[in-house]
Amino acid sequence: MRMEGESNGNGNGNVNGNGNGVVSASSNGRNHLVFAYYVTGHGFGHATRVVEVVRHLIMAGHDVHVVTAAPPFVFTSEIQSPRLFLRKVLLDCGAVQADALTVDRLASLEKYSQTAVAPRDSILATEVDWLNSIKADLVVSDVVPVACRAAADAGIRSVCVTNFSWDFIYAEYVMAAGHHHRSIVWQIAEDYSHCEFLIRLPGYCPMPAFRDVIDVPLVVRRLHKSRKEVRKELGIEEDVKLAILNFGGQPAGWKLKEEFLPSGWLCLVAAHILQETAFGKNYASNKLSGARRLRDAIILGYQLQRVAGRDICIPDWYSNAESELGLGSRSPTFQVTEKSSLMNSFTEDFEILHGDTQGLPDTLTFLKSLTELDAGYDVGKNAEKRQIRERKAAAGLFNWEEEIFVTRAPGRLDVMGGIADYSGSLVLQMPIREACHVAIQRVHPSKHRLWKHAQARQQAEGNSFTPVLQIVSYGSELSNRGPTFDMDLSDFMDGEKPISYEKANKFFAKDPSQKWAAYVAGAILVLMTELGVRFEDSISILVASSVPEGKGVSSSASVEVATMSAIAASHGLTINPRDLALLCQKVENHIVGAPCGVMDQMTSACGEANKLLAMVCQPAEVIGLVEIPGHVRFWGIDSGIKHSVGGADYGSVRIGAFMGRKIIKSIASSLLSRSLPDANGFNLDELGDDGIKLLKAEASLDYLCNLSPHRYEALYVKMLPEFMLGETFEEKYANHNDPVTVIDPKRNYGVIAPARHPIYENFRVKAFKALLTSATSDEQLTALGELLYQCHYSYSACGLGTDGTDRLVQLVQEMQHSKVSKSDEGTLFGAKITGGGSGGTVCVIGRNCLQSSQQILEVQQRYKAATGYLPFIFEGSSPGAGKFGYLKLRRRSSAKQN
């Protein structure tokens, strides 16, 4: 069910020209739904707003159970229907007030503790039983925190409808009443985090606990008096424009000045006016847009407080909570004022001609860094020489008279699938919060700002105005590589044709400190080779990635996808995200020389925030996005052991899997030709047509994952060798038919474990996907976790485990089976090594609650105590490159003059 807000020229929608509130309900194919609507006990304002929503739900034919401490007459005076059910319960006391404008902060916190914290366990048990008893389809909260958690425990979706949340309100109270009450705020925020999305009303405060937001116009009660009657009672003439403020329970220190209002407007501040009239739209012009009407029609508390000296911001201790818990380098909420400051400082110098930052904090930070380049960025006295060099190189990279394009691509957390991707498995991948940004500019060679050594090279060769590629990569000081790279684009040509991938691989491999440039520059050669693109302009590229390298979260894929997206955008190429990912895989396979599958690039390009990308790697069919249930959360914990898909172990395991496929095909062919009569107890004459059909399919097996586990066990496992020498395999089977790996004749390869892993992993991933959408229960979480554990030990059997990743998985197991976890119904349920293995990051699944985050922190600290290394923790998600699109920027003329 979704509530949608509209305003159109006829005045129909959530708020029309007469001030009537309308909320439409969709039954999603059902004629009758059951809603559980929880309403805060703080005053009548929420209840009167909810009345109108409830009324329209009932008009649509649905049952609504209202849970509130508000008097019944608030609802029954407006709604007379057998479909309305009232249940008087106080679950949210709100603020304790001495009068309409005076809040007792300490009393409010203590009252909430008595009402909702002390009896929390019994409240949750009661609400879960009640929700199940009424067979609720959706829980709606305005804005009772515990309702969201109860819904999650009952396995029911929940939505909040509000313009403020109690975690933000109580945060201010904590600042005044003492930090020892902060646990109340944490619990409220954690409760809200179970909400699927927020329907946000105008006049909102920052609400950091909610991930997804849908903005709608005002939701108000029906008018009981006409516009004319209200103006007459108030003594307001028809030609006076009117803004009515109702913001009860707030400090009365505001001084309303005439300059705060547009000319000709009158502002009334009165707590009772909302009871008398529908405030907001009864004077608006339908000729203006919805956003403009909202802005002009009413001066709301949030807007009023943003005048000088009244800026609202999230308290520092609140916004820095994640860092305090050790869960990240900065807050996921990102201070509202800091976002605004970053955006303002950027827009003073640049204008965005295309695209949207989507409010992503890392994007705003990257844009701000662009504004600092031309001004000469001071990196500090203690900065590394290489860091100073890369900043200076970046400062001279762009021609500020020309347009700049910016793209963004995240890393990924391998939830399930991993190395089975190259065998055709279903994989489930989550784009992480950390991402790579690329800024690119194409200019005519005559306008290109060349570095001095590039100028000298062109002069020595007599090639004036030759297209040149210049790249600056931030963070080189962390990974022992050169911060800059440049080349003539003609170096990618061999006569009239692009050079071969093999030649390009050798070109970038010559200098180890420059090999990183293959991930960036390789995108240009792939576009030339695969799409026939010719590059006649010079290209400048700035790469800034926050995806840590060597941790198994696809830092390379994020660079490739961001770069390919940037080159495509700046050259007017339209490439859909799937095809773009496949092109990026060619960069990594053929130019970098790493034999990875495609899931990394596909997730970075096609993923969406807070969802798992489901893809069948045959070769790359995205079958959909899987919602992460509200009660489930994923983390990544870095082992500190550097991971690389270019490593020998990953490559040998891949070769072993392809060897196994070739041998299985050969066995199936032999069975069909009767050269292996009665093999494994099977008599060909007894198989029948269906059995022969299966054998024929297995004799031409295109992907190993298309072989089911039971067929593998029934026919092939006993015939596969545990190990096989490379030259022995080639003598018998000629080749393994993998285009990106080469068999070493003198190496002994594991076969049975690498072949078994993708066959069973494909089954595990399918089971995992089905379980995610099943009914919420401890058994569900336990089964999901068990599948992760099985995957981890299958990696180890292939030889891709490490002491570090094994230790992390063991720590999660110890946490899961501890007495504390068992008494609290458990919080962590499973863990596995990710991606290519041989180090990197471990994926952990747990219950989406505050205690889980605390246990992740404990795992982090225990790992540090045992190894001396403090793991980086990945938490959160962000959109893929396809969803982000691109930004096109231009320097403002005033900035150029300065």
Task: Provide the pLDDT for residue 325.
Answer: 34
Average pLDDT estimate for 634-651: 79
Predicted pLDDT at 49: 83
* Catalytic one of 421, 600, 638, 649: 600
pLDDT band at 803 (very low <50, low <70, confident <90, very high): very high
Is pLDDT of 568 > 70?
A: yes
Collapsing DSSP to helix, strand or coil, 451 comes out as coil
Over residues 92-106, the mean pLDDT reads 77
pLDDT of 687 over the 60 cut: yes
Please tell me the CATH code under which domain 382-615 is placed: 3.30.230.10
Sign of the CA dihedral running 690, 694, 697, 702: positive
What pLDDT digit, counting tens, does each position of 18-72 carry? 333 333 333 334 578 899 999 997 767 788 888 888 988 898 889 999 999 988 9
H, E, C per residue of 764-817 = HHHHHHHHHCCCCCHHHHHHHHHHHHHHHHHHHHHCCCCHHHHHHHHHHHHHHC
pLDDT value of residue 86: 95
Report the pLDDT averaged over residues 661-677.
Answer: 86
Which of 659, 668, 644 is closest to 727 using CA atoms? 659
Judge contact between 737 and 654, C-beta under 8 A: no
pLDDT: which is higher, 37 or 452: 37
* Angle value at C-alpha 411, between 633 and 519, nearest 5 degrees: 165
- pLDDT > 90? residue 765: yes
| pLDDT higher than threshold 90 for residue 256 | no
Name which residue leads in pLDDT, 372 or 501.
Answer: 501
The 10 Å Cβ neighbour count of residue 676 is: 17
pLDDT of residue 449: 83
Residue 217 has pLDDT above 90, yes or no: no
Q: What pTM did the predictor assign?
A: 0.67
User: What is the full DSSP assignment across 337-397?
Assistant: HHHHHHHHHHHHHEEEEE---TT-HHHHHHHHHHHHHTT-----TT--HHHHHHHHHHHTT
34-215 in CATH: which number? Answer: 3.40.50.2000
Encoded tokens for 379: 């990196």
- Taking Cα atoms as reference points, which of 321, 344, 325, 343 lies closest to residue 333? 321
- Report residue 131's pLDDT band, with 50, 70 and 90 as the boundaries: very high
Summarised one tens digit per residue, pLDDT across range 395-448 is 889 988 899 999 999 999 999 999 999 999 999 999 999 999 999 999 999 888
Task: Give CA–CA dist 420/417, Å, rounded.
Answer: 6
Count of positions (residues) in the chain: 898
Q: Which of 275-284, 423-432, 534-543, 673-682 has the lowest mean pLDDT?
A: 275-284
Tell me whether residue 600 is one of the annotated catalytic residues.
yes
What's residue 613's pLDDT?
97
Question: At residue 756, does pLDDT exceed 90?
Answer: yes
Identify the sign of the CA torsion 195, 846, 556, 547. Answer: positive
In terms of average pLDDT, the best of 81-85, 381-385, 398-402, 851-855 is 81-85
Mean pLDDT of 559-579: 97
Q: Was domain 629-647+801-876 assigned CATH 2.70.170.10?
A: no
> CA 316 to CA 690: how far, in whole Å?
68
Report pLDDT for 347.
67
Q: What is the mean pLDDT of the chain?
A: 81
d(CA 384, CA 818): 45
Q: Angle at Cα 612 formed by Cα 608 and Cα 614, nearest 5°?
A: 105
| pLDDT on residue 676 | 55
Q: Inform me whether the pLDDT recorded for 576 exceeds 90.
A: yes
Share of the chain above pLDDT 70, in %: 77
Would the pLDDT of 216 be above 90?
no
* The pLDDT of residue 319: 37
Q: pLDDT tens for residues 299-317?
A: 222 232 333 333 333 333 3
User: What pLDDT is stored for residue 358 in this prediction?
Assistant: 87
Q: What digits encode the pLDDT tens for the residues 142-194?
A: 999 999 999 999 989 898 988 888 888 887 777 666 656 777 887 888 888 88
| Confidence at residue 898, expressed as pLDDT on a 0 to 100 scale | 53
State the alpha helices, DSSP H only, in 261-319. Answer: 273-276, 290-297, 301-305, 316-319
Hey, what are 442's tokens? Answer: 């194409």
Domain ranges of the chain: 34-215, 224-282+290-307, 382-615, 629-647+801-876, 648-674+686-769
Q: What is the mean pLDDT of residues 271-291?
A: 29
DSSP string, 146-190: HHHHHHHHHT--EEEEES--HHHHHHHHHHHH-GGGHHHHHHHHH
Q: Residue 147 in contact with residue 44, Cβ under 8 Å?
A: no
Q: Which residues contact 769 (CB under 8 A, 6 or more apart)?
A: 416, 426, 428, 614, 626
Q: What is the pLDDT of residues 689-715, one digit of tens each?
A: 788 899 999 999 999 999 999 999 999
pLDDT digits (tens, 9 = 90+) for 314-370: 333 333 333 333 333 333 333 444 555 566 666 678 889 999 998 888 999 999 889
Report pLDDT for 341: 58
pLDDT at 262: 61
What pLDDT score does 338 carry? 54
Closest CA to 276 of 219, 234, 217: 234
pLDDT band at 825 (very low <50, low <70, confident <90, very high): low
pLDDT class for 257, splitting at 50, 70, 90? low
Sign of the CA dihedral running 412, 418, 419, 423: negative
What is the model's pLDDT at position 261? 58
Based on the number of CB atoms within 10 Å of its own CB, is 75 exposed (0-12), middle (13-18) or buried (19 or more)?
A: buried
Q: Facing residues of 497 across strands?
A: 494
First to last CA, the chain: 53
Confidence (pLDDT) at 37: 95
Q: How much is the pLDDT for 304? A: 28
